[in-house]
Structure 1
Amino acid sequence: MIRKLANADKETVLELLNRQPAENLFIIGDIEAYGFDDPVTLWGDFNGDGQLVAVLMRYFNHFIPYAPSLEKLDAEGWGRIINLDGRMRQLSGLDMLVRQVMPYIWQPLKTKQTCCYAQREAALPLNGQGQQKDVRMLFPEEAEKMVRLRASIPAFHALSEDHHLLQRNMEKGISRSFYVEKDDRAISAASTSAETRSAAMIVGVCTLPDYQRQGLATSCLIKILAALRAEHKTACLFYDNPDAGRIYEKLGFQSIGHWIVARYG
């Protein structure tokens, strides 16, 4: 049986999600930040014994399904919920799950990207060699500086960002950024997203084309990893570039699967 979840279900939901905390970082992070209220909506699938076996989350127009195994995933049921809701523009999640749901989506698919999903345990030692002294922490009121940097980089052109939302997430403690500045503008950065009590997703690792291959983004990344390690948080990230993958492996990241981002509308 599928039904909408409420705050009374929080303990049950987190018990299921925390079986794979890295894989469920986005869902856990949004629950910690917003609870079960707008912009977050959650649905749960319960078996005949009343046990929660799968979850679907909507964050604004972004949906993420989760089940611990394919046998417990009602792909058609989740597809029906998404279609009836009518707000979906992005579907993402673990490769094995999203591929099962996609055939039931009515909307035309625009793009689909598959990335490696990796994590770095907080207890691992961190080699800060090459770390730049001019890496700065971004303050919430400077959020527009990060939005302008990403908008200047081709790989981020498909990303539409609102600096007000970024600022709010920074103020809530679910996002932070470190950056390098030159001539009063950010030229390289790395950020976190969906931070929880135990983990954080690293996003937006980037450098303006004219300043690449100087180790600037790696320096920002090391700064973030040091901060997360001090707080005993596991670092997670996506990548689809083999060169980036080799850098992440040197920093202690290990692959834990694949993640699909499918965009619609």
Structure 2
Amino acid sequence: MIRQLTEKDREAVLAFVGDRSAENLFIIGDIEAFGFESDTVTVWGDFDEVGSLTSILLRYRENFIPYARDIEKLDGKAWGDVISQAGQLKMISGLKRMVGKVLPFVHASQREKKLCFYAKREDGLPLNRDVARRDVKMAFPEEADKIVQLTSGIDEFSSVEKDPAVLQKNMEKGISRTYYIEQKDEPVSVVSTTAETHGAAMIVGVCTQKDYRHQGLATACMIKMIAALKAEHKQPCLFYDNPAAGKIYKRLGFVDIGEWVMVNY
């Protein structure tokens, strides 16, 4: 049986997804930030005959994320019907094996499909500070415009928030933060987070201006970010689709935990 969930279901849902906080970072983060009864987020649950959750579907704006502990209990057709009836579809994203069960039952034209590796770093790993730098700064919310100006000027970069007002709001809410290095009073290398929860954070926007690459600036920003998250016992997570970037992340202690797919409609 599928029904829309409410605040009364919070404890059960967070228990259902909480043992895989890295894999479910977006689901947990959206619930923590927006709850169950807002225009921004809707959550549905599928229950078995004894009333136990078997899978869930979360809508964040026009993006839908399915999840089940046991993939055999994820009813792709039922969730495809829910997505179609919701009428707000622009994206379906999630772990590849989960999304793959739903896609055949979504009758809409796909515009783009992107597959990334999903990686996390365990909290107990030591951090090599040999390449740390003293000039890595934490951005204030009021500096969101210059952070977005840097990332918007990099052609191959597309995973960071492009609206300074949204980035500033997220920084003020504590679900996003940014570290950067500047030259001549302008940021040249930056690392940000998004969807921070009480136990994890998604690292995004790792980039350096072309003239300042191959100097270890992004690595220094990453080390600063990891150290800050580690101090708060938040597990760093990230996506990557570039093998060269993957090698850098693995040297910093990240390990692949699966593939993440994003299907745009």
TM-score range, shorter-chain basis?
Answer: over 0.9
Secondary structure (helix, strand or coil) at the match of 2:89 reads coil
The Cα of 1:26 is off from its aligned counterpart by: 0.6
Identity among equivalent positions (%) equals 53
Structure 1 Cα separation of the partners of residues 218 and 16 of structure 2:
35
Structure 1 Cα separation of the partners of residues 161 and 167 of structure 2:
11
What corresponds to 1:115 in structure 2? Answer: 116
The Cα of 1:151 is off from its aligned counterpart by: 1.0
CA deviations over 1:25-69 (Å, ceiling 9, x no partner): 011011111111231111111111111111111111111111112
- Higher mean alpha-carbon deviation, 79-88 vs 41-50, is at 79-88
Structure 2 Cα separation of the partners of residues 88 and 181 of structure 1:
39
Cα pair distance change 1:238/1:159, threshold 3 Å? closer
What corresponds to 2:98 in structure 1? Answer: 97
Structure 2 Cα separation of the partners of residues 213 and 83 of structure 1:
46
What corresponds to 1:213 in structure 2? Answer: 214
What corresponds to 1:222 in structure 2? Answer: 223
Q: Which runs of 5+ in 2 are unaligned?
A: none
CA deviations over 1:232-261 (Å, ceiling 9, x no partner): 111111111111111111111111111111
Q: Which runs of 5+ in 1 are unaligned?
A: none
**Structure 2 contact 117–258 (Cα < 8 Å) conserved:** yes
TM-score by length of 1: 0.95
Q: How does 1:1-265 map to 2 (within 5 A)?
A: 1-36=1-36, 37-157=38-158, 161-264=162-265
The Cα of 1:145 is off from its aligned counterpart by: 1.6
Secondary structure (helix, strand or coil) at the match of 1:187 reads strand
Structure 1 Cα separation of the partners of residues 158 and 16 of structure 2:
35
**Structure 1 contact 179–220 (Cα < 8 Å) conserved:** yes
Secondary structure (helix, strand or coil) at the match of 2:27 reads helix
CA deviations over 1:205-252 (Å, ceiling 9, x no partner): 111222211111111111100001111111111111111111111111
- Higher mean alpha-carbon deviation, 214-223 vs 105-114, is at 105-114
CA deviations over 1:60-112 (Å, ceiling 9, x no partner): 11111111122111111111111121212121100101111112222211111
TM-score by length of 2: 0.95
Cα pair distance change 1:158/1:226, threshold 3 Å? closer
**Structure 1 contact 153–208 (Cα < 8 Å) conserved:** yes
Secondary structure (helix, strand or coil) at the match of 1:254 reads strand
Cα pair distance change 1:83/1:156, threshold 3 Å? farther
The Cα of 1:159 is off from its aligned counterpart by: 6.3
Partner letter of residue 164 of structure 1? A
Partner letter of residue 61 of structure 1? E
Taking only aligned residues, the RMSD between alpha carbons, in angstroms, comes to 1.4
Structure 2 Cα separation of the partners of residues 183 and 101 of structure 1:
50
Structure 1 Cα separation of the partners of residues 176 and 88 of structure 2:
25
**Structure 1 contact 123–232 (Cα < 8 Å) conserved:** no
